[in-house]
Structure 1
Amino acid sequence: MIYDCAIIGGGPAGLNAALVLGRARRSVALIDNNQPRNAVTHASHGFITRDGIAPSEFRRIAYEEVLQYPSVNHWRTEVTSVNKAKYGFEMFTSSGVSVQARKLILATGVKEIFPEIEGFYPLYGKSLFNCPFCDGWELRDQPLVVVSEFPSAFHTTKLLLNWSKDVVLCTNGHASLSDQQKEWLESKGIRVMEQPIKAFIGQNGLLEQVQFTDGTHILRAGGFVTPKFVPKTSFGESLGCELTELGGIKTDGFGRSSVTDLYAAGDASYFMPSQLIYAAADGSKAAMGVSMDLMEEFIE
């Protein structure tokens, strides 16, 4: 069988794309290996009617809704390679089967690469996070830390003042701030610590202090650590897609990439802001693009 569209990735972008295509009566192969990036978090926020929902419950409800449409098939496997074919694309999977489709939506998301700091992962998703809009409310009015090695450190720290006035910025040994930025932060009572971090110390997922390699430490109750984002797969690049400056797949307003019949949605395309509601909306637009293009081809 050659599907109208294959979707690689079962996060909010891929699931919403499958929903829209299923309702448009398009045959869909939704391929996902059930390894979501937000599995470490206890709750997802900012999605109307689903604020505070556990990621696993969000996915359960989404699959229940999507798979009620008979033209949508769910393949629980990992795609290992994608080839361009005369009819569209052929995907090879770790389970040994191949899937063929006329159109392809890459909703594969991104990977987070965090600084190698001792004690980070037991606290991640509990008192250390990466997105203030996602988790700032839960840490409101507490003594917080921002750990960022990137030029965005200044912007992130200013943003965090919405939720707490007690903020310390740590650059972990990187000179990412200008003198003017340091002066502004200090004028707001924000301490800037540029020495390398040795470890995060805490118990039961709750941060207690940040230790530095020079022997100093600060007491903190939570905070935000800025990761580097990289594509989760190289499918887009290997198929010849034009990329954005950040490394995402460059698309138009309906998810179309520079490669004919290939679309991208969610974090695979724009990287930031990385929120459920953005990704779901992007998946919807890509699905509309696919359906419109299939209709034009049928009419021709």
Structure 2
Amino acid sequence: MIFDCAIIGGGPAGLNAALVLGRARREVLLLDHNQPRNAVTQESHGFITRDGTSPQEFRRLAHQDLMKYPSIHIQSSKVQDVKSHADVFELITEVGETYHARKVILATGLRETLPAVDRLREYYGKSIFNCSYCDGWELRDQPLIVISDTAAAYHMTMMMEQWTKDLIVCTNGNLVLTEEQVAKLQSKGIPVYPQKIQALVGENGQLQQVVLEDGVILERSGGFVTPQWGQAASIGESLGCELDERGGIVTDLFGRTNIQGVYAAGDSALFAPSQLIIAAAGGSKAAMGVNMELTVEIF
């Protein structure tokens, strides 16, 4: 069987793309290996009618919606490679399965590299987060820390000042702030600690203290980090998709890449801001682009 479209990735972008194409009566294959980046997240926010829903529940509800449409086929597989053969794409999974589709939507998302702080992963998604719009409200008015080893430290701190006035910055031994930025933060009552972090202290993922290498102890109940981002899969690059200066897949308004028949949606194309509702919207637009292209080809 040759599917009208194969969607690689079962996050909000891929799920919404499948929904739109299924409703357009297209034969759709959704390939999802169920290893989402937001698996550590307990609640997702900023998506109207789904505010506070866990990623697992969001996925369950989405699959429930998709099951209404008989032309949508969901396969729990990880795509290892995609090859272009004339007017059809061959998708090969890591276990050797092969599928064929006329169009492909890449919704593979991003991978994140956190600052090099011991045990940070234990707190990530519980009391330390990466998106102020997603989790700032839940940590409002608390004593927070911004941990950043990138130039994004200043921007993140500026944003967080909206949710709490009890805020500090730690650059973990990295000189990522200019003298002017440090002066501005301090003028706003935000101390900057350039020392390395020796330890994070807390229980059950709830931060209590940050211990610096010189013995300074900072009482904090949560915070935010600035990860470094990269493509979660190399499929787009292997196909020859153009990347922008940040590493995101370049697309037009409807998700078209520079490779004929290949679309991209969600975080892998937008790169930032990373939110469910934005990724889902990107999936919807890419699906419309695919459907439009298939229709034009028929006519």
* Common fold by TM > 0.5: yes
Distance in 2 between the 1:110 and 1:71 partners? 28
Q: Equivalences for 1:175-190 in 2 at 5 Å?
A: 175-190=175-190
Partner of 2:24: 24
Runs of 4+ in 1 over 3 A off after TM superposition: none
Partner of 2:87: 87
Unpaired segments ≥5 residues, structure 1: none
Distance in 2 between the 1:89 and 1:173 partners? 47
How many residues are matched? 299
Partner of 2:138: 138
Root mean square deviation, CA, Å? 0.8
Distance in 1 between the 2:199 and 2:259 partners? 45
| Structure 2 contact 115–147 (Cα < 8 Å) conserved | no
Partner of 1:241: 241
Partner of 1:289: 289
- Residue 111 in 1 paired to residue 82 in 2? no
TM-score (norm 1): 0.98
- Deviation per CA, 1:273-295: give whole Å up to 9, x if none: 00000000000000000000011
Distance in 2 between the 1:199 and 1:83 partners? 47
Distance in 2 between the 1:91 and 1:217 partners? 52
| Structure 1 contact 16–281 (Cα < 8 Å) conserved | yes
Q: What residue identity is the alignment partner of 2:278?
A: Y
State the Cα distance separating 1:120 from its structure 2 match: 1.0
Q: Equivalences for 1:1-300 in 2 at 5 Å?
A: 1-299=1-299
Instruction: Give the SS at the match of 2:198.
Output: strand
TM-score (norm 2): 0.98
Return 203-212 or 273-282, whichever deviates more: 203-212
State the Cα distance separating 1:122 from its structure 2 match: 1.4
Unpaired segments ≥5 residues, structure 2: none
Instruction: Give the SS at the match of 2:74.
Output: strand
Distance in 2 between the 1:260 and 1:134 partners? 35
Distance in 2 between the 1:115 and 1:88 partners? 42
- Deviation per CA, 1:123-153: give whole Å up to 9, x if none: 1111011111100111010000001111121
| Structure 1 contact 251–257 (Cα < 8 Å) conserved | yes
Instruction: Give the SS at the match of 1:249.
Output: coil
Distance in 2 between the 1:162 and 1:88 partners? 50
Q: What residue identity is the alignment partner of 1:145?
A: I
Return 108-117 or 273-282, whichever deviates more: 108-117
State the Cα distance separating 1:119 from its structure 2 match: 2.1
